[in-house]
Structure 1
Amino acid sequence: MFKKITTFIKDLGNFGPILAFSVMGPGVGAIVLSASTDVWFDALRSHPMSLLIFLILGLILTGCSLIPTHAVSLLGGILFGHYLGPMYALGTITLASMFSYILFSRFLDDELLALLKKKPRAHMIYTELLKSHGLRTLSMVILIRLSPIMPFAGTNVLLAAGKVNKLEFVFGSAIGLAPRVILVSIAGSKLSSLDLSQGADRSLFVLGLIATILSLAIIGSVSRKALRKMVTHEPIQD
């Protein structure tokens, strides 16, 4: 058992540590942001170039998995109000997702794909869901982004490692992230200081739950078709 675990970790290569960092980094960043709000918040809000600073730092820090998208969304609402805040926040986070995809792609080889190829069924499901290039892949990215159980930074790494088409990745990310970012940013517009415990209303949770159920349903359907194809050697049809 220990040998299998060691072999599996070795096979992950750079993917394992990068994924772990992307999942833990935003949480640590949230703690640092909350603890240091008194140091930087007022200076940022009163700075004549606050928008440019917000865009640049939001893009870099979020794209590098150093702060959560929740913080960027709230800050957008606090700094720029009910109407402009959501627009700036969504633009920043969408660009950050693309920056993250490009950045992590440089450090990720083909470890994940190599592991998938060792599992024919898993590889077939991956191919059908995320490498089919079209509406199915776009829809799957949207649902993944809508789901509350899929962290933004970790999803960036997974999709980058899976070499999902960049165009479908960025459009799917923008559409899927929009409800969460907009609602949280609107909630932020009612605040006078950064409070990461604040968020959107229950409707966002319901939307995310529906997206999660749909994602699981699609994966289940594709899994059954993949198994049938492996047994009967018949092509998978929609």
Structure 2
Amino acid sequence: MPFFKSIFQAFQKYARSIGMVILSAMLPILSSTGITVLLLYFENELLLWSFWQWLLLYLGVSLLMGFALMPTTLMAFLTGYFLGLEATPLMVVSYLIAAYIGYNLGLFLEGKNLHKNLLEKPKVHRFLSSLKEKSWRLIILVRLSPVLPFAVTNLVFSTIRFPMKTFLIGSLLGMLPRTLFAIYIGTKAKTLRSLLENKDTVDFPYSEIIVILLTIITVFGVGRMVRNSLKVANESENL
């Protein structure tokens, strides 16, 4: 009973943070349905857009991704389909703006308070300090994964309080391979509908293998760092 009571008390204390994580994971999935309908309806018009119209759209999309209202991978697919690999810089800048917004949104909503509460526990403090020492590798590995929700990882990083410069550069280096891959898949799509329904990946038979490989690299890399940081925290506690 004491064990379950402690779990319940912890859940109560961090209920808002848990709710934010769940909402951040669900919002992009739910909103993508509406975005898909709009894209299919306006596909012909979008194909005729000028550079400046696209630039304004990317600025708007940066806000949507930053506030967890649009999946980043979906935008990378669309970049490839409508504009090709030449538009990669637009996607990269949009991604960085979204990461900056998401990080600061996490700080504003809960990150500062949650970080302060976590630091009150010496063992957790040592664990987070150890993770911070591996900040570059951790951020790059997390961003490398095509399956980890962008908005959720922003919240986690804001809680750990990585330096903004490290966070942005690490995010850029980590997201670039999977973003280029998604954009390339978009360039291979014959129609927008087939792209959105994931039917065009058959033209690139190694797409599933690449996704699985990136995910495995992330899981093993992050898992190893977390285990090492837990070991450091436990060893310090026993001194």
TM-score, normalising length: structure 2: 0.84
Q: Separation in 2 of the partners of 1:3 and 1:208?
A: 35
Q: What residue in structure 1 maps to residue 164 of structure 2?
A: 166
In the alignment, structure 2 segments of 5+ residues that lack a partner are: none
Residue 19 of structure 1 contacts residue 154 of structure 1 at CA under 8 Å; is this kept in 2?
A: yes
Moved more, 32-41 or 157-166: 32-41
Aligned to 1:138: 136
Give the deviation of 1:177 after TM superposition: 0.7
SS at match of 2:68: coil
Q: 1: CA distance between counterparts of 2:184 and 2:172?
A: 17
1:176 deviates by 0.7
SS at match of 2:192: coil
Change (3 A) 1:65 1:20: same
How far the C-alpha of 1:118 sits from its partner, in A, is 5.2
Change (3 A) 1:197 1:164: farther
Corresponding residue for residue 77 of structure 1: 80
1:74-111 Cα distance to aligned partner (Å, 9 max, x none): 11111211x31333222211221112112332222533
Task: Give the number of the structure whose residues are more often helix, by fraction.
Answer: 2
Secondary structure in 2 aligned to 1:46? coil
Partner amino acid for 2:129? T
- Counterparts of 1:136-215 in structure 2 under 5 Å? 136-191=134-189, 192-193=191-192, 195-198=195-198, 201=207, 202-215=209-222
1:71 and 1:45 mapped to 2: Cα distance?
17
Cα distance in 2 for residues equivalent to 1:3 and 1:111: 23
Aligned CA-pair RMSD: 2.3
In structure 2, the residue matched to 1:18 is 20
Residues 1:225 and 1:45: Cα distance change in structure 2 (over 3 Å): same
Q: Structure 1 CA distance, aligned partners of 2:162 and 2:101?
A: 14
Distance in 2 between residues matched to 1:109 and 1:185, nearest whole Å: 32
Q: CA deviation at 1:196?
A: 3.1
- Amino acid of the residue matched to residue 192 of structure 2? S
Q: Does 1:61 align with 2:64?
A: yes
Aligned to 1:97: 99
CA distance, structure 2, for counterparts of residue 230 and residue 128 of structure 1 = 13
Query: C-alpha separation between the residues in 1 aligned to 2:63 and 2:92?
Result: 14
CA distance in 2, matches of 1:8, 1:226: 20
Determine helix, strand or coil for the equivalent of 1:116. Answer: helix
Q: Which consecutive unaligned segments of at least 5 residues does structure 1 have?
A: 233-238
- Is 2:88 the counterpart of 1:86? yes
TM-score (norm 1): 0.84
Over 3 Å counting, the alpha-carbon distance change for 1:41 and 1:108 in structure 2 is: farther
Larger deviation: 175-184 or 187-196?
187-196
SS, match of residue 173 in structure 1: helix
Contact 1:22 1:154 survives alignment (8 Å): yes
- Residue 120 of structure 1 and its aligned partner are, at CA, apart by 3.2
Structure 1 227/187 Cα, relative in aligned 2: closer, same or farther at 3 Å?
same
Identity %: 22
Q: Which amino acid aligns with 2:60?
A: L
**What displacement does 1:154 show?**
0.3
Moved over 6 A (4+): none
Asked if 1:217 corresponds to 2:220, the answer is no
Could you say which residue in structure 1 is the equivalent of 2:9? 7
- Cα displacement (A) at 1:119: 4.3
Residue 83 of structure 2 aligns with an amino acid whose one-letter code is: F
